[in-house]
Amino acid sequence: MTARFTGKVVLITGGAGGIGRAAAVRFASEGARVVLVDLAAATLRQSVAAVEKVDGEVLAVDADVTRLADVERYAKTAVDRFGTIDVFFNNAGVLGALKPLVDYPEETFDRVIAVNLKAVWLGMKVVTPLLRARGGGAIVNTASIAGLRGSPNIIAYTASKHAVVGMTRAASLELARHNIRVNAVCPAPIETPMAQQLETEIKRLTSSLEAGGHRVIPLVRRAPRPDEDALGWDPASGAISPAGPAVGDAIVHLAGESIMGVRWTSAKKRRIRESRTTATRLLVQTLTRLAKPPAVLVCASGIGYYGSRGDEMLTEESRPGTGFLAEVGRDWEAATAPAIAQGIRVVNLRLGVVLSEHGGALAKMLTPFRLGMGGVIGDGAQWMSWIALDDVVGAIRHALATDALRGPVNAVAPAPVTNAEFTRALGRVLERPTLVPLPAFAARLALGEMADELLLTSQRVVPARLQASGYRFRYTTLEGALRGVLAR
């Protein structure tokens, strides 16, 4: 593993927990000296042992992250031992009781607020002057959404995610001039909605294909279990294991770093690009070297390929646009060219805004809209090209089965809408007012480039090739799709 953090000092609060331990091992594996902070002495010792197992240099500090004196003490201890702090992994957090809001115990409420909010703020308050003094550094705040496990843990969700992300955004703007990078990460266990959406997509596509008599073999980013009908895939090398003369008659490749989430940094943009272009290029190299390559490769792409085009009607024949996502889209599709040269039928599925209750853009809209806080973004005139999750699965099946279909294919419904029309339709379905707009300047202030690329971009895309090749959409109107997706 590349030693990217050789000599760096990484301070990790919540060091006894699973996320803190995993982060400590990863940083230590890449050459960092690690300081672990927690109150749970027994499990903190386990984290220390895990770091030592990878030959890492580690210091453990027993401290209460909600008390200013303890926070000052753990920061001073780190500096006294190692001379400085380069990275602050601000991972303080507690799950709290798994109870609905009305049954939440007062003492648990107070503890969750103290650990999940005050401790994060105190950590930044104490460590930031040290980073300023050394001329810069990095702070990573974890906004855990583990509170969604089991029953709806509203307090843990709102405290750990929304408030911490809000504090992080404010701090990132304040500290940028001091060369201090501040980011938030939202660890998402398998029970969370985004993970559920991914599982739902895979299960629906798998069930649909198996119902047609096909055998579906997942490519997983780990060694397959002995009883698992799967193949291992290493995106960094493109290798598929166990190796053999063939992997299947068809490959469906949907992997890629999420473009949603926090403000785009240069590192985030690099992950977005490389997880699509590099991973696809390496996978294609592996496929074309097989003794029996697959007959078809369906590879995800996106309508970001077209850039922002106002009211222009866009088909697969339209020229590419400009902007970060347009560049990524062009390079992503170009990465499949060697497969075409080897005679593999390639379909580049340019996906629009996928409607799912469990993740993606719609899921992020639901909470504010249900609270009556939804509204248009910018002037609302920008076009949104959407598609229901059921039709994504249908389009993939259609692409696999239709020999005449190849090259770029727009996976969008036939009736794109403006953002204003989308807002009104979602308000009708949810029976809520939509009177709270998000001005363009506010979106840009909060999200920067990401606002123009995702929220304010106008893409009026139609599925010309899907329709010409005979695909019949399950949902052709937005309101019908929203009612189907949300079971309204």
DSSP output for 111-150: HHHIIIIIHHHHHHHHHHHHHHHHT-EEEEEE---GGGSS
pLDDT digits (tens, 9 = 90+) for 446-479: 788 888 999 999 999 999 999 999 999 999 999 9
**pLDDT (0 to 100) of residue 471:** 96
Whether residues 28 and 154 share a domain: the answer is yes
- CB 272: neighbour CB atoms within 10 A? 18
372: region left, alpha or beta (phi > 0 left; psi from -120 to 50 alpha)? left
H helices of 222-376, in order, are 266-288, 324-334, 337-341, 360-370
pLDDT digits (tens, 9 = 90+) for 305-353: 999 999 999 999 999 999 999 999 999 999 999 999 999 999 999 999 9
Whether residues 199 and 181 share a domain: the answer is no
Whether residues 382 and 460 share a domain: the answer is yes
- CB 283: neighbour CB atoms within 10 A? 26
For residue 58, the enclosing domain spans 9-185
pLDDT digits (tens, 9 = 90+) for 385-406: 999 999 999 999 999 999 999 9
> Residue 283: inside a domain, yes or no?
yes
SS3 assignment for 244-281: CCCCCCEEEECCCCCCCCCCCCHHHHHHHHHHHHHHHH
CATH number for the domain harbouring residue 133: 3.40.50.720
**Domain ends where: 143, 158, 185?**
185
**pLDDT (0 to 100) of residue 190:** 32
> Residue 132: inside a domain, yes or no?
yes
Whether residues 210 and 290 share a domain: the answer is yes
Whether residues 128 and 159 share a domain: the answer is yes
Report d(CA 287, CA 429) in Å as an integer. Answer: 45
Whether residues 361 and 436 share a domain: the answer is yes
| CA-based nearest residue to 15, from 91, 128, 68 | 91
> Residue 3: inside a domain, yes or no?
no
| CA-based nearest residue to 331, from 276, 397, 293 | 276
Whether residues 106 and 179 share a domain: the answer is yes
> Residue 1: inside a domain, yes or no?
no
Residue 354: both structure tokens together: 């996928």
Residue 417 backbone dihedrals phi, psi, to 5 degrees = -135, 160
The yes-or-no answer on residue 306 being catalytic is no
Whether residues 83 and 209 share a domain: the answer is no
Report d(CA 200, CA 131) in Å as an integer. Answer: 43
Whether residues 170 and 198 share a domain: the answer is no
The more confidently predicted of residues 278 and 247 is: 278
Among 157, 305, 306, 471, which one carries the catalytic annotation?
Answer: 157
pLDDT digits (tens, 9 = 90+) for 264-308: 888 889 999 999 999 999 999 999 999 999 999 999 999 999 999
> Residue 400: inside a domain, yes or no?
yes
**Domain ends where: 185, 207, 223?**
185
> Residue 4: inside a domain, yes or no?
no
Whether residues 177 and 216 share a domain: the answer is no
Tell me whether the omega of the peptide bond preceding residue 242 falls within 30 degrees of 0, making it cis.
yes
Q: Three-state SS for 188?
A: coil
Report d(CA 138, CA 146) in Å as an integer. Answer: 24
Region 176-198: mean pLDDT is: 62
Give yes or no for a contact between 238 and 286, defined as CB atoms under 8 angstroms apart. Answer: yes
**Domain ends where: 185, 211, 239?**
185
Whether residues 127 and 206 share a domain: the answer is no
Give yes or no for a contact between 387 and 353, defined as CB atoms under 8 angstroms apart. Answer: yes
> Residue 304: inside a domain, yes or no?
yes
> Residue 419: inside a domain, yes or no?
yes
pLDDT digits (tens, 9 = 90+) for 12-65: 998 887 778 888 988 898 899 999 999 878 778 888 998 998 889 999 999 999
Whether residues 161 and 201 share a domain: the answer is no
| Farthest-apart Cα atoms in the chain, separation | 70
**pLDDT (0 to 100) of residue 193:** 38
The more confidently predicted of residues 238 and 294 is: 294
**pLDDT (0 to 100) of residue 113:** 74
The number of folded domains in the chain is 2
**pLDDT (0 to 100) of residue 186:** 62
Burial class of residue 472 in the structure, from the number of CB atoms within 10 Å of its CB (0-12 exposed, 13-18 middle, 19+ buried): exposed
The more confidently predicted of residues 358 and 229 is: 229
